Structure 1
Amino acid sequence: MANRFLRPNLIHRFSTVSPVGPPTTIIPEILSFDQPKPEVDLDLSDQARLFASVPISTLLRSTAILHATSIGPMVDLGSWLMSSKLMDTTVTRDLVLRIVKGTFYDHFCAGEDAAAAARRVSSVYESTGLKGMLVYGVEHAEDGGACDENIQKFIETVEAAKTLPSSHLSSVVVKITAICPMNVLKRVSDLLRWQYKNPNFKLPWKLNSFPVFSGLSPLYHTTSEPEPLTVEEERELEKAHERLKSVCLRCQESNVPLLIDAEDTILQPAIDYMAYWSAIMFNSVKDRPIVYNTIQAYLKDAGERLHLALRESEKMNVPIGFKLVRGAYMSSEAKLADSLGYKSPVHDTIQNTHDCYNDCMSFLESLKWIRHCGHSSYA
């Protein structure tokens, strides 16, 4: 994955809103974040060097765990076990949790709290030169009370990030699904889609943001005009903005970049809307962005949406940052689209996804500076 950001007023032109790549733009200057470059000469192709500090036993265990998680029945068995009556008995529950902690949990999670995860980020950087992203691994909150609890954990994560040298950490990650109730995100996404289809459709609660759709974006989720947000839904949306604002402020005060994670296309319009709103609020304060958004290159509209956001950021003189990934919801996206009689919003082949990712990456790499990082979570 890659994190990049652009200085506004240096993107001089876009030929069309089409898949990104060097031929369509004049390449802007890249900011340096005033962060020292790693002392380690990082070469991601030199796997022997990257993993030299990792014991063979750990590598073998990690390989076995990754293979296990790629087997559908194994995942189903684990899900059944964790929700079965065996977890109601102290002896079996303790046994299962010890096994899980020593295998899957230790592999995928950096620690049980923010401080432990921060220590893992530091150790990874010192041994490999890879920066880490620090994330509190919770999402899909159902009500405002859960959101209030979650935002405190995200703020604790920022506090833990402050203890690390800036050279060790890429960003703190926040999941909008953890700080805004799921039903509100779905409703906001529906209303944003309907407004894109019908530009005269008014959304009185809508704040300033960047475009979140392109001509290739899937709109089939919303087939008829949605009801306006209720008073309670508007109140919950406003509270979600305040939660996001609170963690952005803490990141700004601490000089810690904040990355907003992506979701499936049912929710992504609302997430992009909130991400770009916060970027406008906080990235215009300094000459470097605090807020980053995520672009999923396996989506057919990824390149267009990246261009649209960059072009709008230039118009508004707002620096903008991105994390580029391939994506994680291929099966569910395809099933939903098929059930509604539409083609999947995901590229038809893995090679098309690679091509889109590489085109976006080539465009970003041509901006001369890139940060490679890992992902460290705790729960």
Structure 2
Amino acid sequence: MSQENTFDNTAVAFALKSDSELERAYFLFKMISKQPLVRIGAAATNFALKVNLPVEGLIRATVFDHFCGGVNESDCEPVIDKMYSKGVSSVLDFSVEGKETETYFEAAKDKIIRIIQFAKEKEAIPIVVFKPTGFGRFALYQKKGEGRAFSEKEQEEWNRIVERFDAVCKLAKEKEIEVLIDAEESWMQDAADELVEDMMRKYNTDGTIVYNTLQTYRWDRFEFLRASHERAKAEGFSLGLKIVRGAYMEKERERAEEKDYKSPICDSKVITDENFNACLKYILSHLDDISIFIGTHNEESTYIALKMMKELNIVKNDSRVWFGQLYGMSDHISFNLSKLGYNVAKYLPFGPVKDVMPYLIRRAEENTSVAGQTGRELALLKKERARRKLV
């Protein structure tokens, strides 16, 4: 199956890119392929922004516009409309990270509510997303997950987190917009999992609105999936699950070593891939109870999903199955899948340039650490450049 060439059509993959955008993408991935350059570039960018050097225009014209849709929702509209002309939907992702005040948490909740209202008016945005720590302090999730008692003040703070989750999920249900809730570090995730499951209990009673996220680089996630499925069946609600490999590997391993506990991360990339594929197969085999958002840039896993859908007679555009990639990456998967008739959505990050930089730096660092990812992007861009020269 992996020998198929479904994703090799670069004319389809890059149809929306002008020649200059294609050149910019090639230049960026060339830079990202050099690890020392990424480290130096990240440090220099952080410094320049910190001391207010006038670099925002340069960032906006290069890395920001390649990986982000804009600085606000309406700024994203041209990108959203352009992608939807090729059948690719958008998941608006307000990618401001690392803020920890009640004022910010309230503003983030209001922002997601505005995005849901905005999405209701645009067929191209069937799904929204948020991070648990966008709505509350990391340390509070950690304390809750560890079963430690809250002070009265902390309990009030936790109640506000629950209210924010509820306000978003309630509106999403009313507007029929699906909500993906991201996963984060393992030592805060238990509390987030519990809270997301409560939202599913409440809002996934007649169809799937709320989705939790499984990071399959964690070796315990397949058992977690099965246990969640059993509870959902017993209690009469449907599961929504986004499956990804995961984004905090180095941090997870370092903490496990530092605190002397068994790392939650699979021992190798091969085992992670097996775990991802096992979760994928399990969910596709239980679509009556579980809806899936397959978040992957991995061609092999995508081929497995396509093959299983065919074997199980799952129609290509079944509303319970979505494929997703990040904006600015893996266009060869997204646009070729869409052309074949599958449900595809791009995660479209947006936010003020300065505030989105931590996200962009993380993206660049992840690309350098994923074996083959950047090389594949470069090879496809090179192929498309050559094809256009012949046209």
Alignment TM-score > 0.5, same fold: yes
Pair 1:85–1:172, CA change in 2 (3 A): closer
Matched, 1:65 2:65: no
After TM superposition, give the deviation of residue 155 of structure 1 in Å.
Answer: 1.2
Q: Which residue is 1:155 aligned to?
A: 113
Q: Which of residues 320, 342, 348 in structure 1 aligns to 2:239?
A: 320
For residues 101 and 50 of structure 2, the distance between their equivalents in structure 1, rounded to whole angstroms, comes to 26
Q: Which residue is 1:6 aligned to?
A: none
Matched, 1:179 2:135: yes
Pair 1:67–1:163, CA change in 2 (3 A): farther
Would the aligned equivalents of 2:16 and 2:82 in 1 still touch at CA under 8 Å? Answer: no
More helix per residue: 2
For residues 48 and 16 of structure 2, the distance between their equivalents in structure 1, rounded to whole angstroms, comes to 41
Would the aligned equivalents of 2:139 and 2:188 in 1 still touch at CA under 8 Å? Answer: no
Would the aligned equivalents of 1:118 and 1:161 in 2 still touch at CA under 8 Å? Answer: no
Q: 1:16-46 deviations in whole A, cap 9, x for unaligned?
A: xxxxxxxxxxxxxxxxxxxxxxxxxxx6564
For residues 116 and 355 of structure 1, the distance between their equivalents in structure 2, rounded to whole angstroms, comes to 39
- The residue type equivalent to 2:104 in the other structure is A
Q: Which residue is 1:338 aligned to?
A: 257
Alignment of 1:1-379 (within 5 A): 44=7, 46-69=9-32, 71-84=34-47, 87-88=50-51, 93-94=53-54, 96-127=55-86, 129-165=87-123, 168-191=124-147, 226=148, 228-284=149-205, 287-366=206-285, 367=287, 368=314, 369=318, 370-372=321-323, 373-379=345-351
SS at match of 1:311: helix
Pair 1:63–1:361, CA change in 2 (3 A): farther
TM normalised by structure 2 equals 0.70
Pair 1:290–1:102, CA change in 2 (3 A): same
For residues 65 and 49 of structure 2, the distance between their equivalents in structure 1, rounded to whole angstroms, comes to 22
- The residue type equivalent to 1:252 in the other structure is K
Between the aligned residues of both structures, percent identity stands at 27
**RMSD after superposition:** 2.1
For residues 155 and 178 of structure 1, the distance between their equivalents in structure 2, rounded to whole angstroms, comes to 13
- The residue type equivalent to 2:93 in the other structure is V
- The residue type equivalent to 1:232 in the other structure is K
After TM superposition, give the deviation of residue 151 of structure 1 in Å.
Answer: 1.0
After TM superposition, give the deviation of residue 321 of structure 1 in Å.
Answer: 0.8
Aligned structure 1 segments of 4 or more residues deviating by more than 6 angstroms: none
Would the aligned equivalents of 1:65 and 1:104 in 2 still touch at CA under 8 Å? Answer: yes
Pair 1:76–1:245, CA change in 2 (3 A): same
Which runs of 5 or more structure 2 residues have no equivalent in the other structure?
1-5, 288-313, 324-344, 352-391
After TM superposition, give the deviation of residue 87 of structure 1 in Å.
Answer: 4.7
For residues 118 and 108 of structure 1, the distance between their equivalents in structure 2, rounded to whole angstroms, comes to 15
SS at match of 1:139: coil
